[in-house]
A and B are shown apart, each in its own frame.
Chain A
């Protein structure tokens, strides 16, 4: 464990807790893409299949349980909670996210480190995580504005992946044989997807005005 990875995990934890808190407190999920949340639930489900078979540390298992629990809770709130579900703008959140999953699955079947059931699904979860934010970014473009909690959510999510890139660089220089191109490239693509959002987020923060994403 290094400080970059810890910072990344804490930022990631903060992002899901900020979102869960928002939805639980104000009983609204306006501006949040259910598609992205469903994709994240699938990412965690396919990423943590080994939670019962391989034990890394208490921290690792605890965090996996928190991420699984929070992502499925968010999906549950948005789909089934009597009050929250009414605030979900389903006609705006129309990104066909199943079309994201198929290419990720095909790519995982083609490019992976080992051709085993767990490894292919784990690789699938990496590719899917890289693109899972797309429905949310498309929704923000459509709704043209962003309330600050959703903005914080995306900002923290991007920050978590940015810290992980620093973690990979650190591990590359400190651990022999630590070379994982698939993880690195997927993580880099994911962070780049956030880059333009960060740019507009920073502009709005600098000019101290409401975040307006270009059409």
Chain B
């Protein structure tokens, strides 16, 4: 899958 991101963090 696509690499994890911190964009789901505020």
List residues 1-10 of chain B with CB under 8 A from any CB of chain A: 3-4, 6-10
Question: Chain A: interface secondary structure?
Answer: helix
A-B contact pairs, 23 of them (CB 8 A): A9-B10, A12-B10, A47-B10, A50-B7, A56-B8, A57-B8, A60-B8, A60-B10, A63-B10, A64-B10, A67-B10, A122-B7, A164-B9, A167-B9, A171-B4, A175-B4, A176-B4, A177-B3, A177-B4, A178-B4, A180-B6, A183-B6, A183-B9
Q: How large is the interface on A (under 10, 10 to 19, 20 to 34, 35 or more residues)?
A: 20 to 34
Residues of B within 8 A of A35 (CB): none
What is the CA–CA distance of A177 and B1 in the complex, to the nearest angstrom? Answer: 10
List residues 147-190 of chain A with CB under 8 A from any CB of chain B: 164, 167, 171, 175-178, 180, 183
What is the CA–CA distance of A122 and B10 in the complex, to the nearest angstrom? Answer: 11
What is the CA–CA distance of A54 and B3 in the complex, to the nearest angstrom? Answer: 16
Flag if A5 contacts B4 (CB, 8 Å): no
- Considering the complex, give the chain A residue whose CB is closest to the CB of B8: A56
What is the CA–CA distance of A64 and B9 in the complex, to the nearest angstrom? Answer: 10
